Amino acid sequence: MSSMSDKPEKLITDDGLRLDGRRADEIRPMKIEIGVLSRADGSCYLEWGKNKVLVGVFGPREVHPRRTQRADTAVIRYKYNMASFSVEDRARPGPSRRSIEISKVSREAFEPVIMSELFPKTAIDIFVEVLQADAGTRTAAINASSVALADAGIPMKGLITSCAFGKVDGQIVLDLNKEEDNYGEADFPVAMTQDGEITLLQMDGHLTPEEINKGLELVRKGCKEILEIQQAVLRKKFETPVEETAEEASETEDIENKVVETEASFEYSPEAAAIEDSLEGAEELEGAEELEEELTEESSETSAVTEETPEYEELEEIIKEAEAVVEEDSLEEAIEQEIEEEEGEEALEEEAEFEASFEAAPEPEEFEKLEPGKEESVSGEEEEEKEEEEVMSESQDSAGEEIQLEEETGIEEVASEETIEPEQEIESKAITGKEVPAEEIVKTEEKPEEERCEGPWKVVKDPSESGSRGENE
């Protein structure tokens, strides 16, 4: 983190604009890509301002180690990780107090909407990699995770959307950037369901109840905009109509249909286009008329131009070529199948790896070692000044170490979270360990009863009630 002397004189200029040109109620531009990882069940790459995060979702899948599974429900595991190159002063690899905290509150932000009870004895794993950080990475990661979970087909009562507000130069503003986060007076990340039920709420800094109310209003506006982006990207992927031709091709072994299946290549392959034209022209060929119907407008136009009917031998030649094209299809199928098989094997290996990475996650003892209440310093500490090489191999080492530690002590991990008291301590710190008393924050909420004593989230109502906002649009 930069020193205070770098603080700009003003974070909000006289015309009311912020240093990046936004107004107080504007979020940074967001871009979402879905399904970017072929080995994950669901994935998402998200850019939000200068933040870049990648999320992979795996599961529901077998739980390792077995004793962490739950008979009645799936366990959700969320792992937030910052690439060492994602920040200005190089982040120390491996879990930190901060990443453990973010992982925990983010998992809890999703627990109310993921229908875990449908998948007992399984795990749903969410892996977040922050590639570039510019404040608001936890909110960015939650937005991306929501899309990745949907991409993985995990049943949810609705999407989760997340955005922070803060106080900068005495003003309440939406979605802080790095400078505003560094030099502002407060940062208040929130996550919510589609119905606006809050599932994550943290606060860092000084705010009055009035300011919190105002900020929450901004956050709701921001979350609505983000939800629209999330929904748009999901619609784009899942609402694309299945092409009729592909469906019919699978029903019949007709060569004509198979040729149609390769239709996409017509645009690029002149040979294929010639085949198409020829088949078009040859009335005597079985199924030629059906084929005509199948052709896209574009290719029909092309064939209309070619009036000439080729000689019969030529046609035979062309059909042979067409068969060769068709054979490529079955080849493709074979390759696909092979890939699937491979993926099965890889999944096993992967599982072992991920398992190890989860075991590297905090043990209760680890937490005790950490000093709760003391904010993790992001500037280079002495102990962080290790040799580059040493640090690079560190995450692996520590994974091994902790597996051992765990075996020795036989401590049950994450599954029985009630027993992990230090974690709860951190959580309450996040909410109550600040200037404004917890009751005051709660009072400002719209539905105080439900939120009190519930931790940073509350349970969504009837599943049938959720999702209304998205569906209405």
Q: Which of 98, 121, 221, 429 binds ligand UDP (CB under 6 A)?
A: 98
Q: Which is nearer to ligand UDP, 136 or 222 (CB)?
A: 136
Cβ-based burial of 52 (10 A; exposed 0-12, middle 13-18, buried ≥19): buried
Stretch that binds ligand UDP, among 62-70, 130-138, 431-439, 451-459 (CB under 6 A): 130-138
Q: Which is nearer to ligand UDP, 134 or 261 (CB)?
A: 134
Shortest Å distance, C-beta 427 to ligand UDP:
15
Binding to ligand UDP by residue 101, rule CB under 6 A? no
Angle (CA) 442-446-451 rounded to 5° is: 45
CA 178 to chain centre: 21
Stretch that binds ligand UDP, among 86-94, 147-155, 205-213, 233-241 (CB under 6 A): 86-94
Q: Which of 41, 111, 129, 134 binds ligand UDP (CB under 6 A)?
A: 134
Stretch that binds ligand UDP, among 5-13, 85-93, 302-310, 400-408 (CB under 6 A): 85-93
Shortest Å distance, C-beta 147 to ligand UDP:
18
Binding to ligand UDP by residue 168, rule CB under 6 A? no
SS (H, E, C) 449-461: HHHCCCCCCCCCC
- Relative orientation angle of helices 312-359 and 270-281, to the nearest 10 degrees: 130
Q: Which of 26, 175, 187, 197 binds ligand UDP (CB under 6 A)?
A: 187
DSSP three-state, residue 141: helix
Pairing outcome for strands 171-174 and 160-168: antiparallel
Q: What is the DSSP letter of 411?
A: -
**Restricting to residues 194-223, which ones interact with ligand UDP according to CB under 6 A?**
none
Shortest Å distance, C-beta 380 to ligand UDP:
10
Stretch that binds ligand UDP, among 6-14, 132-140, 305-313, 355-363 (CB under 6 A): 132-140
Q: Which residue has the tokens 């896209």?
A: 296
Binding to ligand UDP by residue 87, rule CB under 6 A? yes
Q: Which is nearer to ligand UDP, 98 or 220 (CB)?
A: 98
- Nearest Cα to 159, choosing from 127, 130, 128, 196? 196
Size of the site for ligand UDP (CB under 6 A): 15
Stretch that binds ligand UDP, among 41-49, 57-65, 84-92, 314-322 (CB under 6 A): 84-92
Q: Which of 40, 123, 126, 135 binds ligand UDP (CB under 6 A)?
A: 135
Residue type, 141: A
Pairing outcome for strands 160-168 and 122-132: unpaired
Binding to ligand UDP by residue 133, rule CB under 6 A? yes
Shortest Å distance, C-beta 120 to ligand UDP:
32
Binding to ligand UDP by residue 362, rule CB under 6 A? no
175: which residues sit within 8 A by CB, 6+ positions away?
22, 26, 27, 28, 48, 49, 136, 139, 163, 164, 165, 222
Q: Which is nearer to ligand UDP, 122 or 137 (CB)?
A: 137
In angstroms, the CA 198 to CA 191 distance is 6
- For CA atoms 374, 380, 381, 383, give the dihedral sign: positive
In angstroms, the CA 260 to CA 328 distance is 13
CA 9 to chain centre: 36
Structure tokens belonging to residue 381: 């500490």
Q: Which residue has the tokens 């925990």?
A: 104
Q: Which of 26, 181, 355, 423 binds ligand UDP (CB under 6 A)?
A: 181
Where along the sequence are the contacts to ligand UDP (CB under 6 A)? 1, 87-88, 91, 98, 133-138, 178, 181, 187, 378
